[in-house]
Structures are given as C-alpha cells and as structure tokens.
C-alpha cells in the first residue's frame, strides 16, 4: 500500500470480515513505540487502496507500546470507527478474565495467546490474592489458630 506521498506502508495485521476491516499496528513489548505519523500514513494508505473501498466500517487499532494518545475521531476519514489503542498488559488481563471465551476452541486459542506472551518474556499472569483476602473477613481466624495448636 502507498500513502499520498508514494511511501510504502504495511500494517502488521489486516483482518477482513464481510462488512468490516480491522487494521492493527503491533509493537512487541520490547520494540519501539507507536507513532502518530505511522498511524496517519497507514490510515491514508488504507483509505486510498481500492481493495478496501467496499468496507462500510474500518477499525484501526494500535497494540503495544502506545506512547501517543489515540487519534481523535475528527482526524479519521469517513468509514473509520474511533481508533483504539491498547497496551499488552491490559489485553492479557482482559483475555484471562473474559467469560465470553468459554468453548474448548476458545480456551485453546487463549492458551496459544498465553504461550505467545511468554515467548515475548511476559510472565504468566499471577492470580489475584484479593478473593482469598476477602474470604478471610468471613472466617474466624482465632478458631483456626486454636485448631492448629492441637496438631502438635
């Protein structure tokens, strides 16, 4: 793809659906930061590309190392939905906590994602201690300690 200056630009991921197009610019956890100029060049190239003219809605997503703020809707051409920008850690957390992924196939995909995160040096997510801490409020800890005394 080319922008209006004739520069070649290549989005990292382009997902084609029946009426929607998703364009994703990815920066790995250890890579460089996202750039507003790169976003604008890619958006312009997608807008100019005849292969994408049929799509009613286009979503542009910046994933990882998002330094600048997402582009305002007013900076986006017609057909582009509001831009989304997401860091890796919130995405990992959302994937692990989302109940929408309930089928065996979904869980296999989530495992693949987790393995990919680990390849990039992102440690497995450690479960929160908060549920256990919350539960201690309803338990008589003194009675538990008394029971432990009898184990000697």
pLDDT confidence band for 135 (50 / 70 / 90): confident
Give the confidence band of 137 by pLDDT, cuts at 50, 70, 90: confident
User: What is the DSSP pairing of strand 13-16 with strand 20-26?
Assistant: antiparallel
Cα–Cα distance, 139 to 134 (Å, whole number): 10
Q: How many residues does the chain have?
A: 152
The domain ranges of the chain are 1-86, 88-123
Predicted local distance difference test score (pLDDT) of residue 78: 93
Task: Determine the Cα angle at 64 with ends 60 and 70, to 5°.
Answer: 45
Helix/strand/coil for 21: strand
Gap between the Cα atoms of 110 and 119, Å rounded = 14
Percent of the chain with pLDDT over 70: 96
pLDDT > 90: percent of the chain: 49
């Amino acid at each position: 793809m080319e922008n209006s200056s004739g520069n070649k630009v290549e989005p990292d991921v382009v997902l084609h659906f029946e009426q929607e197009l998703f364009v994703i610019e990815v920066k790995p956890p250890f890579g460089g930061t996202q750039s507003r100029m790169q976003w604008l060049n890619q958006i312009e190239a997608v807008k100019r590309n005849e292969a994408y003219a049929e799509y009613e809605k286009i979503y542009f997503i910046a994933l990882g190392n998002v330094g600048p703020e997402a582009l305002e809707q007013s900076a986006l051409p017609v057909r582009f939905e509001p831009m989304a920008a997401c860091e890796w850690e919130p995405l990992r957390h959302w994937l692990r906590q989302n109940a929408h992924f309930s089928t065996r196939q979904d869980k296999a995909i989530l495992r693949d994602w987790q393995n990919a995160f680990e390849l990039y040096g992102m440690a497995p997510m450690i479960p929160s201690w908060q549920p256990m801490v919350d539960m201690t409020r309803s338990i008589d800890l003194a009675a538990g300690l008394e029971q432990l005394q009898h184990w000697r």
